[in-house]
Amino acid sequence: MHAHFTRLGLFASTTIAAATLVACGGGGGGSSTPTPAPTSTMGTLGVSMTDAPACGFDAVNVTVNKVRVNQSATASDTDGGWTDITLSPAKKINLLNLTNGVLESLGNTPLAAGHYSQLRLVLDANAGTGLANSVIPTGSSAEVTLVTPSATQSGIKLVNEFDVVAGQRVDLVLDFNACKSVVTTGNGKYMLKPVVKVIPTAVNGISGFVSTALLGSHVMVSAQQNGVVISSTVPSATGEFFLARLVPGGYDVVITADDRAASVVGAVPVATTTSTTALSTAAAPIVLAASTSGSISGSVTMTPASATEPAYVAAKQSFAAGPTVTIKSQGADLTTGAYTLTQLPVAAPQYSVYGATLPLVFAQNLTSTPGTGKYKLEASATGYTTKSLSAVDLTVANQSNVNFALVP
């Protein structure tokens, strides 16, 4: 699997900005509704979904049943005060169809003006064929059940603060990280472990074009900060990409494809929540240099073992006069700890510092650290100390038995 984010967006509009919501586990599923407030004191909550490519899958399907909100951060599913947006029938959505900032509407509801502290996204349980929530692994045409823990089926719980103002709408966009949310559990089985955060509501970001000759080669475009993937997408049929809804700041944009050297644009600015920074045009798209590819595999052991927290392995490269970026990453199998990072380019990456004058000029970075064809590998897991290995060398051969032992 590659390291790319998948976004699940809850979207509504208002002049009041929502505070960041923090994802956590939790129950839910009650259907109580507060006494309707007078129309003059009502606002509106609308809900939509957006997504980016998942790593290692051609489809990631979730079936949304309802969205629930409550003014109390501690309300249980049996308490009062819930307002629901119920989808009837429930909507099965392939998250991978929603790239480049596209939204899928989940409906809207009137909502009493006031301060809200809890939001839950409720998914249908897998029943019958077991494919209400499912994945199609890349290279396979078979749809496989995505196991959803009971807490997920009763509601992905997000607790924080947002305000609804009478006569207005409130904007919430939740970012669903598919790479970290779909966990392999051995024997070809997959489990949903939701990892969700809030992203800005306004449509801003970083745009550009890659050569259409690259399409079909699993092109991925990601915006990173300090080697951490913040957002990612795949180009459209015309080669266009759009990394949408980014917090204003500086980003390193990393472009990868099968059998190609990575191209990196350093220090790309996103000035405001409504601005878009262009990296290339349709007339002069970004072209990636050819490269042979290699793989790195091994296992991650965690002491004490965890039945719910998977480990993640990232292959990174650093430039002598530039950023550290993640080229590929993968979650280790929850049962065996095994991982395999494939399609790692052996050729040196191409690099360009961002400039407003296009086209950008990329040059092979022969002073990258730890060097051409060599990678720094990092293994991490929630609650465990991150471990790293430097100069894993693909110039000689594929590397196996690159193992990690994580402890708290």
Residues 36, 155 within the same domain: yes
pTM of the model: 0.78
Is 286 among the domain residues?
Answer: no
pLDDT tens digit sequence for 57-104: 888 888 988 888 899 988 888 899 999 989 889 999 887 777 666 677
pLDDT tens digit sequence for 126-145: 888 889 999 998 888 899 99
- Last-in-domain residue among 255, 278, 301: 278
Residues 210, 192 within the same domain: no
H-state helical runs in 140-218? 150-154, 178-181
Is 389 among the domain residues?
Answer: yes
Residues 84, 230 within the same domain: no
The CATH number given to whatever domain includes residue 237 is: 2.60.40.1120
Residues 151, 60 within the same domain: yes
Residues 352, 315 within the same domain: yes
Query: What is the strand order of the sheet 220-225 is part of?
Result: 228-233, 220-225, 249-256, 263-270, 350-353, 363-364
**Burial grade of 168 (CB within 10 A; 0-12, 13-18, 19 or more):** middle
Cα separation, 152 vs 176, in Å, equals 13
Burial call 366-384: b when 16+ CB within 10 Å, e when fewer: eebeeebbbbbbbbbbeeb
Q: Tell me how many domains the chain contains.
A: 3
Residues 187, 215 within the same domain: no
Do 189 and 159 form a contact (C-beta atoms < 8 A)? no
- Last-in-domain residue among 278, 301, 316: 278
Residues 222, 168 within the same domain: no
Is 244 among the domain residues?
Answer: yes
Residues 63, 181 within the same domain: yes
Residues 121, 174 within the same domain: yes
Residues 84, 39 within the same domain: yes
pLDDT tens digit sequence for 248-273: 999 999 999 999 999 999 999 999 88
Cα separation, 297 vs 404, in Å, equals 11
Is 316 among the domain residues?
Answer: yes
The contacts of residue 35 (CB under 8 Å, 6+ apart) are none
H-state helical runs in 74-162? 150-154
From first to last of its 408 residues, the chain has per-residue pLDDT tens of 443 343 444 443 322 223 333 333 333 333 444 555 555 677 777 666 555 555 778 888 889 888 888 999 888 888 999 999 898 899 998 877 776 666 777 777 788 899 988 888 888 888 888 899 999 988 888 999 998 887 666 788 766 678 888 888 877 776 777 767 888 888 788 988 877 766 656 788 999 999 999 998 999 999 999 999 988 888 988 999 999 888 899 999 999 999 999 999 999 999 988 899 999 999 999 999 999 999 999 999 999 998 788 899 999 988 877 889 999 998 899 999 999 999 999 988 899 999 999 999 998 766 665 667 889 999 999 999 999 998 899 988 999 999 999 999
Range of the domain at 221: 205-278
Radius of gyration of the chain (CA): 22
